[in-house]
Structure 1
């Protein structure tokens, strides 16, 4: 076989090798860069904003707010679970009877923390325009039976209608004429009926403390 001229062999051979070496160097550099980035991404700590590292927000119901559809049997709701045990027992006995008649006893309000009660009072003052008018609907944290877990606000008209008719048999009494939803335990009502209602909370001696 004929050999190429010496000038061709001495000029194209080294050029080819230089090209090969250069391409290999570029590939190696790219591979090294990608490997470095992969290592960094796999070894980096999780972001402080990632779900796995962020703390769960506190429950908005912890202070006594009540989720829609809550009944007297919802023990996972603090407003129900922290009611006075005797009141809660009476409510559940009444609720079992009501359920047999197709009525559910829903809860709109129950136990409340002092902070939550004061918040409701501030909102009532803003809504009604004065402390005096707000007092007809919302008590202070020091006087409210909700804070001690001794009062419950029953929701939805079928439930309040049923309880107004049958509540005394379980010692459950409406206390204020202007609040047909507000019930407290009066055990003596089982034999004697519920006591006369106050016109509103401002007439209740307990609210004068």
Structure 2
């Protein structure tokens, strides 16, 4: 290989390396916003949960930073009392939220009934990263009792697992509304 041709080859490899490191694992260019989003739709398999420390999962990484910090603080305090808070749902893409709504409409055979449980993407706090679902039941119950200490409140009476920042830490949570449509 000639010296000139060899330099071109190495320059080409270097360019490929720079391009490869500038892309996310999905091959898409990273976000240019102030906080890069983790790729994925945020789905967590049914009957499974993940840790609040799983920052590689889109459902956790794309949560509102204030909500995530409050939930992590609550989880650390709950752990000291023998309760493990797990995330059954966090941030969701709009497409995933729409899929959940479509599935609920099929399950309940009524859009009105489905909307008691699942918001459309444009109304969902999961899509904006401002809601988190906590399990198992004992963990959700612990958070209902102690969540106000962290600003976390149960938003809907029919969803004991769904929490949002609805008060300042140490404040009083508002009464949960009856369901997603009020």
Q: Same fold judged by TM-score > 0.5?
A: yes
Residues 24-103 of structure 1: matches in 2 within 5 Å?
62-67=40-45, 68-103=48-83
Deviation at 1:126, TM superposition (A): 0.2
For structure 2, the 5+ residue unaligned runs are: 1-24, 28-38
Query: Given the alignment, which residue of 201, 205, 209 partners 2:180?
Result: 201
Of 92, 107, 125, the match for 1:112? 92
Give the ranges of 4+ consecutive aligned residues of structure 1 lying more than 6 Å apart after TM superposition: none
Contact kept, 8 Å, 1:177 with 1:198, in 2: the verdict is yes
Three-state SS of the structure 1 residue aligned to 2:156 is: coil
Cα-to-partner distance string for 1:73-92 (whole Å, 9 max, x where unaligned):
11111101100000000000
Aligned length: 145
Contact conserved, 2:78 with 2:85, CA < 8 A, in 1? yes
| Equivalent residue number for residue 162 of structure 2 | 182
Unpaired runs of 5+ residues, structure 1, are 1-55, 204-209
Normalising by structure 1, what TM-score?
A: 0.66
In 2, Cα distance between equivalents of 1:65 and 1:191: 31
Structure 1 Cα separation of the partners of residues 170 and 77 of structure 2? 18
CA contact (8 A) 1:177 1:199 kept: yes
RMSD: 1.8
Give the structure with the higher percent helix: 1
How many angstroms does 1:155 deviate by?
A: 1.4
- The structure whose Rg is larger is 1
